[in-house]
Amino acid sequence: MSTAAAITNALTIDVEDYFQVSALAPHFPRERWDSVPCRVEANVERILGLLAGRGVKATFFTLGWVAERYPQLVRRIAAEGHEVASHGYGHERASALPREAFLADIRLAKAVLEDITGEAVSGYRAPSFSIGRANLWAHDCLAEAGYRYSSSVYPVQHDHYGMPEAPRFPWRLENGLVEIPVTTMRWLGRNWPAGGGGYFRLLPYALSRWQIARVNHNDRRPAIFYFHPWEIDPGQPRVREAGAKTRFRHYVNLQHTEGRLRRLLQDFSWGRADTVFRDAA
C-alpha cells in the first residue's frame, strides 16, 4: 500500500450560506440576512448524502447564526457521526473585531452549538482564515473560551488572508491550543494552496489530487481540505452588482464541484479533523 493510500486526511466543510461570504458582504448587510432565502440546509443535506454514500466522516465548521435557524440540521450532522465545530457566530472576520468582541462571538457560537448537539465543541475555524500575524492574540481567546484546536491560519500569500511564514503542519501554542493550518504544498521555495476552496474549483482536479498525494507521500502527513455548501450549488442567485473579480472567484466552476468532490472522496481516505489530528490536539 502506498503512503498516500495509508494516510487518512481531514475533510472539513465551512457551513455558511452564499450571502454570508465576506466578499459579498457589501451586498448583504447582516441586518438583512433574515430576509434572504437560505439555501444552506438543502446544500448540507446533499453533502451529508454524498458522505454517507462513501462512508466518510467529516468536520462541519458551523456558523452559530445558521445553527440557531436550522438546529435539526446540526443535530443530524452530529447524529451521523460527523464533528460539529465552530465557524464563529456571525461570520465576522477575526481580524476585523476587537479582542472582547471576538471573544464574545466565539463563546456565543460554542454555546449555541453545544446546546443544540449536547456535545462539547473543541474546534474552531475563523471566517476567511482571518487569524494571522497581526492578531495572533485570537489564539489566546480561543483557549480562554475552551476550544482545543483552531484551523484558522493559512500559510500562503493571498490578497485577503494568509501567513506564509507560519508552520505548514499542526503546532501547539504555549496556551495549549493546537493550530491546524489548511494544507499547502512546498514547491519552488514557496507554499502553494493545496487544501480546497476556490482553488479546487478554478484549477483542474488532477492538480488537487497530485498536491494531496504529494503531501501524503513526501511529507508523510495528512492533508486538511475544506469547501463550502454553496460551492455545490450552481443554481444560487447571482449577485450581478458585485465586481468582476468577486463574481469570478465566487461562481467559477460551481457546476463541477460536486463531481470533483466525488472523485476526491474516492481517491483518498478521509475522516474528521479531531480524529485525524487527535495526537496533535
What lies within 8 Å, CB to CB, of 207 at 6+ separation is none
The helix (run of H) or strand (run of E) holding residue 261 is: helix 254-267
pTM of the prediction?
A: 0.95
190-194 long-range contacts (CB < 8 A, ≥24 apart) are 190/157, 190/164, 191/155, 191/156, 191/157, 191/164, 192/156, 193/154, 193/156, 193/158, 194/223
Amino acid at 61: F
What pLDDT is recorded for position 156?
82
Query: Which phi and psi (to 5°) does residue 274 adopt?
Result: -70, -25
CA dist., res. 103 & res. 60, Å (int) = 21
What are the CA-CA distances from residue 277 to residues 7, 12, 212 (Å)?
Answer: 12, 13, 16
pLDDT of residue 162: 62
Residue extents of the structural domains in the chain: 3-276
At the topology level, CATH places domain 3-276 in TIM Barrel (3.20.20)
Q: What is the pLDDT of residue 1?
A: 37
Q: Coil, helix or strand for 104?
A: helix
One pLDDT digit (tens) per residue for the chain, 281 residues:
345 558 999 999 999 999 999 999 999 999 999 999 999 999 999 999 999 999 999 999 999 999 999 999 999 999 999 999 999 999 999 999 999 999 999 999 999 999 999 999 999 999 999 999 999 999 999 999 999 999 999 998 765 666 888 899 999 999 999 999 999 999 888 899 999 998 899 999 999 999 999 999 999 999 999 999 999 999 999 999 999 999 999 999 999 999 999 999 999 999 999 999 998 75
DSSP secondary structure of 66-99:
HHHH-HHHHHHHHHTTPEEEE--SS---GGGS-H
pLDDT score at 6: 84
Beta carbons within 10 angstroms of residue 256's beta carbon: 16
In Å, how far from its chain's centre is CA 78?
17
pLDDT of residue 163: 84
Strands (E), the chain: 8-15, 59-62, 83-86, 123-124, 149-150, 171-172, 178-179, 184-187, 190-193, 224-227, 269-271
pLDDT given at position 188? 84
> What is the C-alpha to C-alpha distance for residues 254 and 109, in angstroms, rounded to an integer?
29
Distance separating alpha carbons of residues 168 and 205, to the nearest angstrom: 22
> How many helices (H) does the chain have, and how many strands (E)?
11, 11
